Amino acid sequence: MEVSRPETALGADSGQKDGSSSSPHNLFVKWSGKEFEIEDINGLETVRDLKQLLQSKTGVHVDRQKLLNLTYEGKLAQDDCVLAKMSLKVGQKLMMMGSLEKDIESVNIPPEERPNVNNDLDVPDDCELPVESQEVYMKKIERRVKEYKISVINPSRPGKKLLVLDIDYTLFDHRTTAETPGELMRPFLHEFLTASYEHYDIAIWSATSMKWIHEKMRLLGVSSNPQYKIAFHVDFMAMISIHMPKYGVVNVKPLGVIWGQFPQYSAKNTIMIDDLRRNFLMNPQSGLRIRPFKSAHTNRHSDTELLRVGGYLRKIAKLDDFSNLNHKKWETYERKSNSSKRRRSQSSSGTDSSNSKR
Ligand SMILES: [Mg+2]
């Protein structure tokens, strides 16, 4: 493994393809949740050469690979593009999309018969932490509160509630092949974030490393959108592992790490949205499990989940305390609160039964 080098731009004229006198020029490629380092691209001539090397590392066939943020003159770089002509930086991060042949064949197998990928393992609705180990987990959280550094991007705003969002399958289909990140973005993402920003500080928490969170947010246009600002990013280092007798060791996102560092947020004003229920095992009452956004090409014309969850967030934003809510029933809350509004307007005597936990 090489030591990290400063991020210097190798411009169009600085490429020395013989590799004899140039210093090594590395790249990082993220694919399917894994990171691969290309230690030196100086010996490679074209994008196709790079893809061939990636095929040897990942098993994804050259023709199936899409390097999402590898562009040349503003467009997705074609296979015959010469690497030395592209302004690739040392240590640059590329996102690769593409499926293995065996996975393409397995598309015809019903999901319930496919082998479980541990990363996607979820727990059932009624799953609870073993009580006897709670103390151990609280200790782990305390340690994270002391030692973990949350990446603050914009200051928290007084009086706002907190919305914590997962990325993969919640905001973005990270496993489908596409030409542009926009094709994989969950529909209405920017509308959802813009509307939520009015009442909530927004945090992103993803089970990957900080550099990939920054990169994904950049690719989706979240970090540059003028309509809202992200308060902070939290990465996999803030997660803790817990042992579930039935499922083995799973990694979860304990909100206590955030609450310990930002005392203005608590179970009373925080909601976490994730496609995996297990991520909020340490604070199940604060979690809303969203349907995963997968198969983007099929679903991106019909998925309205963010619009609907956004409506729920807007409604509950009026409450002083979230700790009586049951987010499992968020869809009913929408309907009940609409019908009770209708009742009120008809008789002016209705009461909002909504979805309190009782
Ligand atoms: Mg996810």
The enclosing domain of 38 has a CATH number of: 3.10.20.90
Residues in the chain where the model's pLDDT stays below 70: 1-22, 101-120, 130-133, 334-358
CA dihedral 301, 304, 310, 312 (to 10 degrees): 180
The number of distinct structural domains making up the chain is 2
pLDDT at 175: 86
Distance CA 7, CA 233 (A): 22
pLDDT of residue 50: 93
One domain for residues 159 and 280: yes
CB within 8 Å of 298: residues ≥ 6 apart:
none
Nearest-angstrom CA–CA distance, 146 and 307: 37
pLDDT at res. 34: 87
Assess whether 164 and 263 both reside in one domain: yes
Q: pLDDT tens digit string along 35-49?
A: 999 999 988 899 999
Span from the CA of 51 to the centroid of ligand 1 (angstroms):
27
Question: Is residue 123, in this structure, part of any structural domain at all?
Answer: no
Which of the listed residues 67, 99, 131 is the one where a domain comes to its end? 99
Residue 120 CA, ligand 1 centroid: distance in Å: 8
> Ligand 1 centre from 5 Cα, in Å?
31
User: Could you tell me if 342 and 216 lie in one domain?
Assistant: yes
Ligand 1 geometric centre to CA of 166 (Å): 6
**Which residues make Cβ contacts (< 8 Å) with residue 235, sequence separation at least 6?**
151, 205, 206, 207, 208, 209, 210, 213
Counting residues of the chain whose pLDDT is more than 70, the rounded percentage is 80
Same domain, 78 and 200: no
SS3 178: coil
Give residues whose Cβ lies within 5 Å of ion ligand 1. 166, 168-169, 275
**What distance in angstroms lies between residue 87's CA and the mean position of ligand 1's atoms?**
32
Q: 50-99: per-residue pLDDT in tens?
A: 999 999 899 888 888 888 888 888 888 889 999 988 888 999 999 888 77
In a domain, 128, yes or no: no
The reply to whether 112 falls in a domain is no
Residue 253 maps to a domain: yes
Cα angle, residue 144 at apex, residues 287 and 28 outer, rounded to 5°: 85
CA of 331 to the centre of ligand 1 (A): 20
Give residue 107 CA to ligand 1 midpoint distance, Å.
20
> What's the 173 CA to ligand 1 centre distance in angstroms?
9
In angstroms, what is the span from residue 174 Cα to ligand 1's centroid? 9
Structural domain boundaries enclosing 280:
147-347
Residue 133 lies in a domain: no
